[in-house]
């Protein structure tokens, strides 16, 4: 027996849930098929639990800095099990909210594995769901390299359910996730090494920001090793691990965590049988309307290779619904995507890096920077330094990039992203009154040109 739908979504992550519930709100008959968890990576094993762990990791630093203000605090103990348990309670609460968000406008939630049978049919839990449109939004999954002993390592999904807190951990990778978890474990008290096979962490970010962040991460206590990789992992008799490195060194530790990228979660969806085109990395090939090469089959989110960020998937879901069930006036713009890395200190960025600006607007770029020790640390004693940077196109004075390394960088850059989206110029920033004393005011008081490129 078949059911007839206007839209069947495979995957209940950020993009899939948003598309499903907004489509249902237009009166469309919609079903969501999910075999893992509601809310996808972000809610369950990504942004949300990670940020909760980041908060936990910052308390030790706050405790140590308090003495300079005459406040005597001591960190008596830390319970990993309490943190994990409370995190799980919050995620369960959010799962319930996501279920209500779907069922409220009438979306049918089917807890089963979804497989595309044809361009107008999805099989799920023994049912055949006939539909006018299929939307694949299954997201990504952590990538683990093939090397001897890799079965002893954990990935960024596993880390949220670790039973025992490791006293010594190696984090492998140089992107968002690796850098953030190195800070988390270091802040919680583990001896932490961050290994990256390249020259510098955070590839794709502004080079000056990368260098400054790396230096601050080392200051915080993380053992950062670039041009370094693991060739094999060995289990010791006492339960510990030995990581053998490419430089011949062997490191004893309690856990090895890999955060070396994610791959699109497209296996087992029946795409090959139907003929949906995929790229070499498994991502689904889709156009600006999220259409695949098979009419009626669409895809969005991390599974199509666009920036793997929750707000991107959410916006894609909104645009998709407008195109399919609305007045078709919306499209995606990937030019100004603000983002943050929740390491210690935070990184916030929006727009072009200096390197990108130099390539696209050679000879027409001015760079403004400000590096300083935050007011708080004049008493806290912390050596942490903040870096702020603006990239300006000289010919029209347009601010085309803004970057920051420092506390609350994400909160500050979010507001700047609004201004940049509205077309703000350097003159607009200069005319804006600052809020004193704050770090954020530096963005409206940068007057000295650092360099022109």
Give the Cα separation of 392 and 352 in Å (integer).
10
CA atoms within 13 A on the CB side of 191: 6
Distance (Å, whole) CA 64 – CA 19: 46
| CA–CA separation, 316 and 313 (whole Å) | 5
Residue 139 near residue 13 (C-beta atoms within 8 A): yes
- Pick from 269, 243, 312, 7: nearest CA to 114: 269
- For the annotated catalytic residues, the residue numbers are 436
- The answer to whether 298 touches 134, Cβ cutoff 8 Å, is yes
Task: Compute the Cα dihedral for 164, 168, 172, 175 and give only its sign.
Answer: positive
Which residues, in sequence order, are bridge partners of residue 2? Answer: 128
Q: Is the peptide bond before 112 cis (omega within 30 degrees of 0)?
A: no
Distance CA 57, CA 67 (A): 19
């Amino acid at each position: 027996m078949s059911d007839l739908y206007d839209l069947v979504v495979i995957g209940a992550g950020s993009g899939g849930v948003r598309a499903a519930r907004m489509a249902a709100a237009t009166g469309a008959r919609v079903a969501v098929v999910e075999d893992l968890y509601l809310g996808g990576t972000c809610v369950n094993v990504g942004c949300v639990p990670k940020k909760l762990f980041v908060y936990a990791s910052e308390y030790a630093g706050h405790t140590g800095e308090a003495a300079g203000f005459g406040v005597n605090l001591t960190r008596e103990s830390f319970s990993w099990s309490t943190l994990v348990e409370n995190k799980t309670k919050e995620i369960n609460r959010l799962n319930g909210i996501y279920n209500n968000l779907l069922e409220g406008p009438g979306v049918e939630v089917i807890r089963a594995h979804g497989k595309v049978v044809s361009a107008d049919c999805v099989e799920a839990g023994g049912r055949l769901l006939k539909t006018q449109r299929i939307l694949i939004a299954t997201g990504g999954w952590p990538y683990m390299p093939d090397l001897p002993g890799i079965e002893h390592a954990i990935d960024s999904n596993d880390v949220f359910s670790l039973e025992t807190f490791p006293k010594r951990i190696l984090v492998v990778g140089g992107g968002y996730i690796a850098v953030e978890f190195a800070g988390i474990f270091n802040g919680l008290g583990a001896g932490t090494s961050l290994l990256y096979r390249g020259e510098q962490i955070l590839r794709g970010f502004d080079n000056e920001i990368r260098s400054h962040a790396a230096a601050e991460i080392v200051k915080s206590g993380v053992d950062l090793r670039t041009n370094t990789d693991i060739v094999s992992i060995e289990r010791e008799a006492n339960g510990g691990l030995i990581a053998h490195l490419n430089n011949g060194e062997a490191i004893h530790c309690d856990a090895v965590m890999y955060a070396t990228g994610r791959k699109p979660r497209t296996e087992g969806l029946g795409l090959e049988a139907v003929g949906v085109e995929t790229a070499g990395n498994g991502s689904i090939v889709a156009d600006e309307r999220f259409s695949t090469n098979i009419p009626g089959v669409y895809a969005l989110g991390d599974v199509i290779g666009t920036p793997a960020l929750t707000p991107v998937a959410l916006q894609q879901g909104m645009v998709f619904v407008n195109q399919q069930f609305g007045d078709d006036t919306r499209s995606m713009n990937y030019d100004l995507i603000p983002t943050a890395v929740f390491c210690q200190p935070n990184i916030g960025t929006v727009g072009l890096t200096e390197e990108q600006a130099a390539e696209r607007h050679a000879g027409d770029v001015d760079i403004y920077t400000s590096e300083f020790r935050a007011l708080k640390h004049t008493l806290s004693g912390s050596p942490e330094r903040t870096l702020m940077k603006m990239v300006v196109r000289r010919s029209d004075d347009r601010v085309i990039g803004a970057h920051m390394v420092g506390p609350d960088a994400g909160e500050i850059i979010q507001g700047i992203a609004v201004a940049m989206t509205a077309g703000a110029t350097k003159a607009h920033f200069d005319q804006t009154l600052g809020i004193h004393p704050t770090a954020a005011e530096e963005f409206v008081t940068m007057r000295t040109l650092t360099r022109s490129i």
